[in-house]
Chains A and B, each alone.
Chain A
């Protein structure tokens, strides 16, 4: 009996080490009874992989995603059916926009752990970005039945938002606040999501209150600073907005924060400072791409919005939509086509982007501008009017354009 005993004791030690490493993988580690099944090193690599993902969340540095992937792949090389390592890779695939891979990993999770709420979350997230909404919503419903709580309520909220059910989206996100209360990070995240739901229908005051509540529980929370900057800009307080956006960017160097800061400078009449931020967007994008995050769609939208290399942007948009055939993919491709003067082609994609009935001011604005390009003035005014009625502050860049067209 010597051999099994030594194996088990080694496993015990490795498990203790896993705990010391931060315990991120613990829940999904094999439980006590099945001690002998998995080599010790797989656990250590899995724990390392989870810790590296946590570092990415803290710093925003995508190099940790690459390093996490290496650790998790080594874990799976040692134990191909390790549930923790599989779920870690699935999370990673979602974060880096490899949605088809995420879907395959989600299905593997479900095979390893039938009726795992987490697996349904991964599958739903991936199906959603792949544009298969019926399947995505079914996965979210199953997840909410298996484990009602923050993770499933937030997903149901997002699904309702996509379907144009804003009241329902707000109600579900409010419900998520109670289970989120146990964690400051979760509370801040949930508050920001709730604020954005208010914001997207022009309820600026309520949005600001949620963002401030997020900052009260988690001072310096970058997404809340970024969102609050948009509120200040909407209220005409450009200086305050710029200060907040800079703080967000300092806390977490995300390209979308740099883009927002550039736009704030631009609309404040500071083109030189704006250009510096746009250059920074490029640099941050390169860093994401270097760490294998698929950002073609995001780059395409930025370029199209800022009139940069439009024909190249259209190529990116097509590629991005192939990776992410969602309503966002349709919308960005439509907008890229329109800005390249191919409005008839653009129209079909724009209609497709609005097929769920999503009440999204940006998508409605795109639709309106495409109709205008096609000479359909009445239809154009209708959609632009809807966009502004929904959220008069939907875009620092395009809000004024929409208003001008309507005048």
Chain B
């Protein structure tokens, strides 16, 4: 009996994981571009990957760094599945994309109360530019600095600006001058002290605000490979995203900058925040102009490419046929997709296949957990919610930290009581996640990361 139950548990988990795996692969790899050649009429690609605007994960949590409990951290990761050796150009943020964190602090579901906008600019420079080398980075001399002596080999350099938008007013926090994004980790000859370099790219902007933009290890963990091998799960599982990097934007601000009453976590009377991350590209129409030259003139000139709040919503809840529409709408328009929450297809598949009981539909529990601040809330909005008065260390769905095992949580929540304790046997990232800013691990280096089994 116990064995049977255990087997069922494994199978159930496998299916759920398979769903997650498939969805993640769909989102992370996407289709190949289709530029047809065969004919004389003008053919443009119909679908193309857009990794620089592709958000893999969004995090928001009360700082877990000792002594920093009055801070809130926001993280967005983009450019999925970075192969560390992916030269010669490696991985950069996109100067034509606006990367934005949006926060709702008055529980009306519209996350436009406080926003933080990151924009990047590219510069080709140094020995790479002078000598016309086909490499982005070169150890001539080794890169030990983001600027000045020791930065000569940094052939491509990205600067970025940070603007806060509070109740509609644009407040420049940091101009496009001295903040430099940390480049991809090429290897020890080119970048002999990568962590030192990354340290230089961690900026204290004063007023309790810190920023980091650059490459990090992908902190998401899941055993995709075992699920795909016809549900060949194992214990312990293997983190299929191990050894891959992402580009991260990490922002730490005093919680008082976010709360409605400008008070700290311990004194605020409005501790509940909702937030999401988005990427946008310039809005272009056939006759209406729009060419990306209106940089910095607000969001009006841009259109959302992707949004992300809670993990796995885009993958497990929203149907593929509605992905474009979902991404083009705002979180407060989520009622258009209510059916997906009330009748989650993952739960349906679980009960169909394994006969395991799942909660009855319509699933008001998912609706309450993901779309509302409280069950009585009438304004549905898909936001990552955080009660900043909770002790630091709270886990998703009360905020989300990089270390949270969201795959297990999602299976348990969607599956209901019968799936309590289910999981993929991968419960931590392959690299240790630091509990100090920027809270993400150093990226794998291009020379030493290998694809050999132990």
Interface residues in chain A, defined as those with a beta carbon under 8 Å from any beta carbon in chain B: 1, 4-5, 8-9, 12-13, 15-16, 19, 22-36, 50, 53-54, 56-57, 60, 62, 65, 83, 87, 91, 94-97, 112-118, 121-122, 125, 129, 137, 140-141, 144-156, 158-160, 163, 168, 171-172, 174-175, 178-183, 185-186, 189, 193, 216, 222-223, 252, 254, 256, 288, 293, 295, 298, 324, 328
Contact = CB atoms under 8 A, between A and B. Distances in A.
Given A62-B38, A97-B41, A152-B284, A19 B46 contact: no
A28 B31 contact: yes
Contact of B328 (A94, A145, A179): A145
A144 B51 contact: no
A147 B348 CA distance: 30
B257 interface: no
A137 to B, nearest CB: 4
B320 interface: yes
A178 B291 CA distance: 13
A174 B292 CA distance: 9
Given A24-B31, A27-B47, A29-B320, A175 B96 contact: yes
Interface stretch (B15-23, B59-67, B198-206, B357-365): B15-23
Given A27-B26, A146-B324, A150-B48, 15 more contacts: A1-B354, A9-B230, A9-B231, A26-B22, A31-B22, A33-B319, A60-B38, A113-B322, A146-B325, A148-B284, A148-B305, A160-B286, A178-B95, A182-B48, A222-B37
B231 to A, nearest CB: 7
Interface string B87-98: 000000011110
B349 A33 contact: yes
A181 B95 CA distance: 11
A35 B303 contact: no
Nearest to A188: B35
A144 B354 contact: no
A113 B322 CA distance: 6
A151 B42 contact: no
Interface of B: 15, 18-20, 22-23, 25-26, 29-53, 94-97, 134, 228-231, 280-289, 291-293, 303, 305, 315-316, 319-322, 324-325, 327-328, 344-346, 348-349, 352-355
B35 A185 contact: yes
A144 B48 contact: no
Contacts of B231: 9, 12
Nearest to B350: A33
Contact of B40 (A118, A171, A298): A298
Nearest to B329: A115
A317 to B, nearest CB: 14
B321 A254 contact: no
A56 B18 contact: no
Contacts of B47: 27, 118, 151
A5 B37 contact: no
Contact of B286 (A1, A30, A163, A324): A163
A148 B325 contact: no
A201 to B, nearest CB: 17
A362 B259 CA distance: 63
A32 B44 CA distance: 30
B44 A256 contact: no
Contacts of B291: 168, 171-172, 174-175
Given A57-B36, A151-B46, A175-B291, A112 B228 contact: no
A178 B48 CA distance: 12
Nearest to A116: B324
B18 A32 contact: yes
B285 A181 contact: no
B137 to A, nearest CB: 17
Nearest to A59: B37
B345 A32 contact: yes
B52 A26 contact: no
Nearest 10 A-B pairs (CB), nearest first?
A: A33-B345, A32-B19, A171-B291, A148-B281, A115-B325, A154-B44, A113-B321, A178-B96, A137-B286, A31-B320
Given A33-B319, A34-B345, A152-B284, A94 B43 contact: yes
A205 to B, nearest CB: 18
Contacts of A160: 286
B280 to A, nearest CB: 8
A56 B34 CA distance: 11
B12 to A, nearest CB: 11
Given A154-B44, A175-B282, A256-B40, A31 B345 contact: yes
Contact of A5 (B23, B31, B293, B353): B353
A150 B354 CA distance: 43
A340 B281 CA distance: 50
Contacts of B284: 144, 148, 152-153, 156, 172, 175
Contacts of A27: 26, 30-31, 47, 320
B30 to A, nearest CB: 5
A32 B285 contact: no
